């Protein structure tokens, strides 16, 4: 990989303020200048490779995935806040726990949760004040958090605990972003007590979940929710997850499950508000279906145009806008050597907006995801990642988003005076704010 273009450490330091705020323009400038693969020098003997090459991304995530692990950004830096669950682990630990968690997200299990998810979404949408301009991201963040909370803990009265847990996870995410984008200030974060404070917050969050899980363990009532499924999951020797491992997996579901969905829904509602003709077509689809009663999953999976709208929004604003991998052995790609320990960041954001693959890539066009065309995009569309480490909750997220959009559009026409949305990339791709008006 040494023959690929390199961006100097001086260039990184010169642009450090804008990289901290939003690294995507810096990435785009260098992709435009250097091509689909380049390296960035971030220290005397440390480099990171960036790519938007579709074939290399498939190589890393699918065809040669066994030669790559997640980087320490996730397995150490993120893990110190949310534990070693399936999002933040590698190797055998990841394989074992992925097999244990996966059944909780099978379609039959999700079908049983649809009533719970529907009720949670309805409750949050009822908080919308008609004919007022609202920051929809705050609304969607609360909605997505409550969906995860109710799916894990059924209808238990834990509003106060969940509010505190939400505050902790969001605060620790902001701290982690500072650590990732300003590694040269780690000494200062230690000196001023920031790291200690956020580690204490992480411990408080774990204590909250520990109390809730212990209450469930001793309860004689079966809830048939995600927590019950995790409690019943067994290793091959018939034993259950340890208390700490169970907390790790629940924290992962909260962190990954609510943040990414809230962000994706906010971008989607903005795009629908900016494109009234598309919004009207989506409204017509939902207006012919009642989501009350049984078979909720069958009903929402029939909303094919709303699904296309979501898929197109995920193309334009992929929650996992960057995916990282580290080579655990020497590898080669199309004649290019990839030495062991090479860190590669795959820009899904750049790939999803590449004119090499998408006609008018910056235009919101759900028709490109018509069922007859979807196969065209399999090689360069990764909203939930790809390969064995593809997001375990992708179906859960998709059904939740379809339900939310259907319920919002059945009740409101949405509009906005914003010309564009400002991106605030954190752990996932987030909008700075999305101000929408909801008219009955």
Contact 259/138 with Cβ under 8 angstroms? no
pLDDT given at position 258: 84
Contact 319/428 with Cβ under 8 angstroms? yes
Q: Kindly give, in sequence order, each residue whose CB lies less than 8 Å from that of residue 318, ignoring residues fewer than 6 positions away.
A: 348, 349, 352, 382, 383, 429
Q: What are the CA-CA distances from residue 18 to residues 25, 42, 86, 430 (Å)?
A: 9, 16, 32, 16
3-state secondary structure 85-147: CCCCCCHHHHHHHHHHHHHHHCHHHHHHHHHHHHHHHHHHHCCCCCCCEEEHHHHHHHHHHHH
Q: What 3-state DSSP class applies to 372?
A: coil
β-pairing, 133-135 vs 336-338, is: unpaired
The model's confidence at residue 155, banded by pLDDT at 50, 70 and 90, is low
Q: What is the pLDDT of residues 296-308, one digit of tens each?
A: 989 999 999 999 9
Mean pLDDT for 23-33 is 94
Mean pLDDT of the chain, nearest integer: 90
The model's confidence at residue 156, banded by pLDDT at 50, 70 and 90, is low
Contact 370/233 with Cβ under 8 angstroms? no
Structure tokens at 111: 């079908």
How many other CB atoms are found less than 10 A from the CB of residue 371?
Answer: 9
Contact 76/242 with Cβ under 8 angstroms? no
How many other CB atoms are found less than 10 A from the CB of residue 12?
Answer: 16
Phi, psi dihedrals of residue 133, rounded to the nearest 5°: -85, 125
Q: Is the pLDDT of residue 207 over 80?
A: yes
Least confident of 47-61, 139-153, 410-424: 139-153
Q: What is the pLDDT of residues 290-339, one digit of tens each?
A: 887 778 989 999 999 999 999 999 999 999 999 999 999 999 999 999 99
Contact 366/268 with Cβ under 8 angstroms? no
Rg (C-alpha) for the chain, rounded Å, is 22
Q: What is the DSSP letter of 288?
A: T
Cα–Cα distance measured from residue 67 to residue 72, given in angstroms and rounded to the nearest whole number: 16
Closest CA to 353 of 370, 365, 367, 371: 365
Mean pLDDT for 216-232 is 84
Residue with tokens 């009955």: 440
The model's confidence at residue 100, banded by pLDDT at 50, 70 and 90, is confident
pLDDT given at position 3: 82
Structure tokens at 305: 């145009």
Contact 53/347 with Cβ under 8 angstroms? no
Structure tokens at 433: 């704010």
Name beta bridge partners: 347.
Answer: 322
């Amino acid at each position: 990989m040494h023959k690929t273009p390199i961006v100097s450490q001086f260039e990184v330091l010169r642009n450090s303020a804008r990289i901290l705020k939003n690294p995507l323009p810096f990435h785009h400038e260098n992709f435009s200048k250097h091509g689909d693969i380049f390296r960035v020098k971030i220290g005397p003997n440390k480099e990171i490779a960036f790519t938007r090459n579709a074939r290399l991304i498939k190589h890393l995530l699918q065809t040669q995935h066994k030669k790559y692990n997640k980087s320490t950004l996730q397995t150490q830096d993120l893990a110190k806040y949310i534990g070693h669950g399936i999002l933040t682990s590698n190797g055998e630990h990841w394989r074992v726990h992925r097999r244990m968690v996966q059944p909780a997200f099978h379609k039959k299990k999700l079908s049983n949760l649809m009533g719970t998810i529907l009720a949670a979404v309805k409750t949050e949408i009822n908080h919308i004040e008609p004919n007022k301009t609202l920051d929809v991201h705050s609304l969607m963040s609360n909605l997505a958090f409550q969906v995860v909370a109710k799916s894990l803990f059924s209808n238990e009265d834990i509003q106060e605990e969940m509010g505190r847990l939400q505050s902790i996870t969001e605060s620790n995410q902001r701290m982690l972003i500072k650590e990732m984008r300003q590694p040269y200030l780690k000494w200062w974060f230690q000196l001023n007590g920031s790291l200690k404070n956020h580690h204490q917050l992480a411990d408080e969050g774990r204590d909250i979940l520990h109390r809730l899980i212990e209450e469930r363990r001793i309860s004689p009532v079966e809830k048939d929710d995600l927590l019950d499924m995790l409690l019943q999951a067994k290793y091959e020797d018939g034993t259950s997850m340890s208390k700490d491992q169970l907390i790790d997996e629940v924290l992962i579901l909260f962190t990954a499950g609510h943040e990414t969905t809230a962000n994706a829904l906010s971008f989607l509602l903005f795009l629908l508000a900016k494109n009234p003709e598309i919004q009207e077509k989506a409204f017509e689809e939902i207006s012919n279906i009642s989501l009350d009663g049984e078979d909720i999953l069958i009903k929402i999976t029939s909303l094919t145009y709303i699904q296309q709208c979501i898929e197109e929004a995920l193309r334009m604003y992929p929650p996992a806008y960057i995916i990282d991998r580290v080579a655990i052995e020497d590898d080669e790609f199309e004649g290019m050597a990839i030495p062991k320990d090479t860190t590669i960041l795959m820009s899904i954001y750049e790939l999803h907006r590449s004119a090499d693959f998408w006609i008018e890539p910056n235009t919101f066009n759900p028709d490109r995801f018509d069922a007859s065309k979807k196969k065209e995009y399999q090689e360069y569309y990764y909203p939930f990642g790809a390969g064995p480490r593809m997001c375990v909750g992708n179906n859960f997220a998709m059904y939740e988003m379809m339900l939310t959009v259907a319920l919002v559009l059945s009740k409101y026409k949405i509009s906005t005076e914003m010309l564009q949305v400002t991106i605030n990339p954190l752990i996932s791709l987030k909008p700075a704010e999305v101000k929408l008006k909801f008219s009955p």
